[in-house]
Amino acid sequence: MSVPEVGTGRPSLRAIAVLAWIAAFAVLLAVTALIAGPPPGAGDAPPLTRTGRQLVPNNPNARPQGDAILVANRREAPLTILAISQQPLRTADYGRLAIDAEPLPPGVEVALLWIRLDQPGKPHDQRIPTDSRGVLEPALLDRDAAWSGDVTLLALGVKGPMERPWMLRSVSLQPITTGSVIGDIVRGWRAFERWDGRSINVLFGGRDEQRAWFPPLAFAASAIAALAVVVVARRRRVRVGPAPIIVAFLIGWLALDVRWQLNLVEQARSTVAEFGGKTWEQKHASMEDADLFRFVQAARARLPADPVRIFVNSDLEYFRRRAGFHLYPHNVLAYSWAEPSQLRPGEYLLLYQKADVRFDTAQEELLWANGRRLDAKPLLVQRGAGLFVVGPKGGR
């Protein structure tokens, strides 16, 4: 253990570990932003700022309200284009887009759209990220390869029908700075990483794509802080105990863990909003395969109570397997089988989004695109889905 420093009035080695970590991390972040950002000197034009009223909409979905503009996409017209500038501008002068607006209604997204002088008929776009509440975050454009040369049209695209109008107060296209790159790096770490199909295998620590990853910077700051502790200890002629070194590395771990814990809290909120107070069936009816679940529940009501052999097929593996899962404890085959003759009379068949099979109502047969046929009686049919029982002639 370290020799105690008594009455020196100087900060302890543990305090130095903490301070050194903070300082090292700040410096590392700035250096990384300089490396990962655009070259120095690029983009020194004055900001291009438009109030909402100054934007030019392409349809009556949008109308000015004071200095702002109110957008209300309808189901029959779910896209509004708001022109920012129709004057040529150099992309090299700008790299950051900031939008002052209300949080987006659910299911709505906003993108910056532009047309380059050298590609007159080809629109380019970059989606504007939002935080977990739907507030649009500043977007950096410098990593988009299409953001180059001169631009002749610049606009915002607002896509998706809205359950309530959305107010946009102003749009500002600004030169990119080291500060804005730092902001973008930190926003990349803070971005809410919602559970998705990949989460069980990998966690990215924020956005999938980042300018700089948090763990290496946190570790480098820890290593520098540990070195600083050793150097200071030598200058003070005291032996370094384990505690300051451990503190230096634990701070790095804690910094990463606080980010992760905040993400878990956000995820818990989202989970409660999605599933809280619901029964088992209601939960499944609100998941991404809700339509399939409802169809399978209806199909189960047409099947005998005791488990039966049932073949399931779909063009999409996800639906095939999910249908299988919902059908158990019936005896399901949710494998992508292709030979109808494998089905025996009295067995069942559930098809969901299977494009190469149609039902011949006159012959009461299922017809495959390759000419195969299956004698089948429909028990439940809806657009793109059906439950059948195999007839006495079976498949051929």
Partner 1 sequence: MSDAAPLAFGIAVPWLAGFAVVRALLAWHRDRDTWVEVGYGHFVGVLLVTLVMRCMNAIGMPLAVVPATIVMAIVAVGGLVYAARRSSTDVRGPETTPEPLALRWIAAVALALIAIRLGTLAVDVLLRPLFAWDAWSQWGTKAKVWSSLREIAPFMGYDEWLARTRPGYTDTAPNYPATIPLLQTWMTLVLGRWDDALMNLPWLAAFVALGAGLYGQMRRLGAGASWSIVATYLVLSLPLLDTHVALAGYADLHVAAAYALAVLALAQWEATRARGALVLLASAALLLPLLKLPGIAWIGTLALGTVIVVFGTTPWRMGGLAAAVLAVTVAIGFYFGSGKVTPDAAATQYRIVESLLQHLYAFGSWNLAWYLVPLTVALAWREALALKATTVALACGFAFLAWTFFFTQAGDWVVDYTTVNRALLHIAPAAIAYAALLAHARAARPVVQTAAVPVSSAMTQAAAADAGREVA
**Alpha carbon 310 to chain centroid, angstroms:** 36
Report the interface residues with partner 1, using CB under 8 A. 1, 14, 193, 195, 197-206, 213-216, 218-219, 222, 239, 241-243, 246-247, 249-250, 252-254, 256-257, 259-261, 264-265, 267-268, 271-272, 274-276, 280, 283-284, 287, 307, 321-322, 324-325, 328-329, 331-335, 337, 342
3-state class (DSSP) for residue 19: helix
Residue 168: CB minimum distance to partner 1, A: 33
d(CA 372, CA 356): 11
Q: What is the DSSP letter of 106?
A: T
Residue 243: CB minimum distance to partner 1, A: 4
Residue 11: CB minimum distance to partner 1, A: 13
d(CA 244, CA 17): 6
Q: Could you tell me if 357 and 366 are in contact, meaning their C-beta atoms sit under 8 angstroms apart?
A: yes
d(CA 336, CA 316): 9
**Side-chain half-sphere of 253: how many Cα atoms within 13 Å?**
6
Nearer to partner 1, 173 or 221 (CB): 221
User: What would you measure as the largest C-alpha separation in the chain, in angstroms?
Assistant: 99
Q: Which residues of 129-164 are buried (b: 16+ CB within 10 A; e: fewer)?
A: bbeeebebbbbbbbebebbeeebbbbbbbbebbbee
Nearer to partner 1, 275 or 359 (CB): 275
Residue 366: CB minimum distance to partner 1, A: 18
Residue 263: CB minimum distance to partner 1, A: 9
Q: Could you tell me if 173 and 91 are in contact, meaning their C-beta atoms sit under 8 angstroms apart?
A: no
Residue 333: CB minimum distance to partner 1, A: 6
Q: What is the DSSP letter of 148?
A: -
Closest CA to 142 of 176, 183, 178, 180: 176
d(CA 149, CA 263): 38
Residue 6: CB minimum distance to partner 1, A: 14
Residue 44: CB minimum distance to partner 1, A: 33
Nearer to partner 1, 114 or 249 (CB): 249
Q: At what angle do helices 290-302 and 317-327 cross, to 10 degrees?
A: 40
Nearer to partner 1, 26 or 264 (CB): 264
Closest CA to 164 of 80, 106, 110, 81: 106
User: Tokens 């109030």, residue?
Assistant: 51
Nearer to partner 1, 27 or 246 (CB): 246
User: Tokens 């009223």, residue?
Assistant: 53
Helices and strands, counts by H and E, the chain:
7, 19
Nearer to partner 1, 70 or 333 (CB): 333
Nearer to partner 1, 79 or 262 (CB): 262
Q: How far, in Å, are 196, 199, 325 from residue 274 at the CA level? A: 14, 18, 21
Residue 343: CB minimum distance to partner 1, A: 10
